[in-house]
Amino acid sequence: ALPRDLEGLRVVVSAGGTREPLDPVRYLGNRSSGKQGYALARTAAQRGADVTLVAAHTVALPDPTGVRLVHAGTAEQLRDAVHEASADADVVVMAAAVADFRPASKADHKIKKTDRDPDPVTLVRNPDILAELVAKRRDGQTIVGFAAETGDSGADVLDHARAKLKRKGCDLLVVNAVGEGKAFEVEENSGWLLSATGDERPITLGSKSQMATEVWDAIHTLRDR
Ligand code: PMT
């Protein structure tokens, strides 16, 4: 059995990938399966935390036991749900892959195929939910971001991640190297844990549950100091 070391903690975890509609049947999306976020929520609940999981699109996954599950389709819906759930949360973990942009407008009807060349799709920026959470952080609230980075080497990935940690202002950043067959969709994950206090350590390749355990261990240590 896992230690009940997160008892009394109210936590919010986001998971999955947002889908930004172009028309009633088409969307811009990403490859997030939700597996990493679900593992984080499940592990926290098993360790005694009070967990709200805000889930965007995922592959078919069992609802984690003992977790409040809220569904959100688009970045804007996820934003509303995360803010509502995190108002009195001690820890917020943003594992969802949130679209940075969405189509400027959604057509009411399925966009028709015609003989003309299609109109270009205009995109607008989505809100940066993590940045908003940091801006309104309550006293004692711990905010954890994820970063999906592509790079030619571990050094590239870490450089980008250090810059992102500074820019985003969160307490912990979990860095995944992504690319062909890595992190998104698959069963295993690896990366680095960077803290605002300058601690950096690698997370070796293992199941997404193992990664979740390491992330919660780091959060627990950070909050115990
Ligand atoms: O779902 P899986 O298939 O298991 O894959 C897991 C994962 C690779 C999706 C996950 O581990 C992960 O890395 N999630 C974050 C992916 C991501 O969107 O990274 P980013 O570098 O684009 O965003 C950085 C951080 O800002 C993230 O915490 C993200 O949730 C947040 N963000 C991003 C954009 C936005 N508009 N608002 C945000 O809050």
Q: Could you tell me the sign of the dihedral formed by the alpha carbons of 220, 211, 77, 157, in that order?
A: positive
Q: 78 C-alpha to center of ligand 1: Å?
A: 12
146 has binding-site annotation: yes
Span 162-182, pLDDT tens digits: 999 999 999 999 998 888 888
For the record, the structure tokens of 87 come out as: 């108002």
Q: What atom in ligand 1 is closest to the CA of residue 208?
A: 4
User: What is the 8-class DSSP label of residue 160?
Assistant: H
DSSP bridge pairs for 101 = 125
Name which residue sits closest to atom 31 of ligand 1, judged by CA: 130
Structure tokens at 190: 């690896």
* Complex confidence, ipTM: 0.99
Rounded-to-integer distance, Cα 135 and Cα 129, Å: 10
106 is in an annotated binding site: no
pLDDT score, position 153: 74
Kindly state the average pLDDT of the residues 116-131.
95
CA distance 55 to 70: 6
Instruction: Please tell me if the CB atom of residue 191 comes closer than 6 angstroms to any atom of ligand 1.
Output: no
Kindly report the pTM of this predicted structure: 0.97
**Per-residue confidence (pLDDT) for residue 218, from 0 to 100:** 97
Q: Tell me how far apart the alpha carbons of residues 214 and 225 are, in angstroms, rounded to a whole number.
A: 17
User: What are 44-65's pLDDT values in tens digits?
Assistant: 999 999 999 999 999 999 999 9
What phi and psi values does residue 172 have, to the nearest 5 degrees?
Answer: -135, 145
